[in-house]
């Protein structure tokens, strides 16, 4: 059974008080949040998260901006079909469909984790429609030279890896918690919102495939990175958790080198999920950055 915004009895509507919208894309029905009016901010999540990750920023920004936060197919309240591709490139095509169907113009792209290559693929292909970028811990290049990424991707692609990701729901149950620096910020109530959208092995294909494609899609990432000059002059805000064991100072240095007009804010005590661990601080920082965009 597919979970929707209406039948998700585990969903705390005080924490996530947004109306559900759906769009038919490749793979099924994509769920998305569409709140507020003004310049569109398209918020792109990674794994094993969904639009819930951006809930506090949506509440903070929707008074002045139009906040659109989709759930990738296989995540959150979107369909989770068996046998679909689930590669980053597949999600990127769906994101392009969403932006086109909603007639979004002059957008701000906000990306995190796998949302980096998924979202930034749109920016390098259609830079004329992207006004600015907001990046949380993410990448857009091959990780083939990263030994830890190679090990993680190889393990995920193995029979054992598929078992722990699909049968044991490893990514939201275990990996997500491990990537927090301050574990107290991941309360049982919040953690439930990342575990419950993936109730059965058949609905966990998306997180497993993305783990495998961390290195498996390296050729696609490299093609994106070769076009990086197309976004080098975009106003960029980089918000970086410095205690992230996956994307740290080395990856941050690449973004510093690329963007000619980058504002970089680091969070020394935050892990991978800055949106959760630093939620109280993010709103004013993002607002100030957006206010300075012509």
Distance CA(285)–CA(288), nearest Å, equals: 5
Asked about 31 being catalytic, the answer comes back as no
What is the spatial distance between Cα 177 and Cα 169, in angstroms, rounded to a whole number? 13
Among residues 79, 90, 146, 244, which one is catalytic?
244
Determine whether 272 is an active site residue. Answer: yes
- The token pair that represents 243 in the structure block: 């205690």
Annotated catalytic residue within 34, 79, 113, 146? 113
| Contact call for residues 218 and 145 (beta carbons, < 8 A) | no
Annotated active-site residue in 45, 91, 193, 272: 272
Of 156, 52, 144, 113, nearest to 246 (Cα)? 113
Would you call 21 a catalytic residue per the annotation?
no
Quote the tokens at residue 123.
């920016």
Q: Enumerate the H helices of the chain as residue ranges.
A: 55-61, 88-101, 115-125, 147-157, 159-166, 170, 176-178, 188-195, 205-216, 218-225, 249-258, 274-277, 279-291
Q: Taking a C-beta distance cutoff of 8 angstroms, is the pair 101, 91 a contact?
A: no
Question: What are the residue numbers of the active site?
Answer: 113, 244, 272
């Amino acid at each position: 059974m597919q979970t929707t915004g209406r039948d998700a009895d585990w969903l705390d509507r005080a924490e996530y008080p947004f109306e559900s919208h759906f769009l038919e894309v490749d793979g099924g029905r994509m769920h998305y949040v569409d709140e507020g009016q003004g310049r569109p901010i398209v918020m792109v999540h990674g794994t094993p998260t969904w639009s819930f990750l951006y809930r506090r920023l949506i509440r903070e920004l929707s008074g002045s901006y139009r906040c659109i936060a989709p759930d990738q197919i296989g995540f959150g309240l979107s369909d989770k079909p068996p046998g679909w591709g689930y590669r980053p490139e597949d999600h990127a095509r769906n994101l392009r469909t969403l932006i086109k169907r909603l007639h979004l113009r002059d957008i701000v792209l906000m990306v995190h984790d796998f949302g980096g290559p998924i979202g930034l693929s749109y920016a390098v292909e259609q830079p004329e429609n992207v006004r600015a970028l907001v990046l949380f811990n993410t990448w857009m290049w091959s990780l083939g030279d990263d030994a830890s990424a190679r090990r993680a991707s190889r393990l995920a692609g193995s029979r054992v890896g598929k078992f722990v990701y699909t049968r044991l729901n490893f990514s939201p149950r275990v990996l997500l918690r491990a990537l927090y620096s301050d574990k107290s910020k991941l309360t049982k109530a919040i953690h439930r919102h990342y575990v419950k959208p993936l109730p059965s092995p058949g609905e966990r294909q998306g997180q497993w495939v993305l783990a495998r494609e961390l290195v498996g899609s390296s050729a696609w990432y490299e093609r994106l990175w070769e076009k990086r000059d197309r976004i080098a002059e975009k106003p960029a805000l980089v918000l970086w958790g410095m205690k992230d064991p996956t994307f740290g100072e080395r990856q941050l240095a690449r973004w510093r080198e690329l963007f000619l007009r980058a504002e970089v804010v680091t969070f020394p005590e935050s892990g991978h999920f800055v949106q959760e661990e630093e939620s109280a601080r993010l709103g004013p920082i993002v607002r100030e950055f957006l206010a300075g965009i012509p």
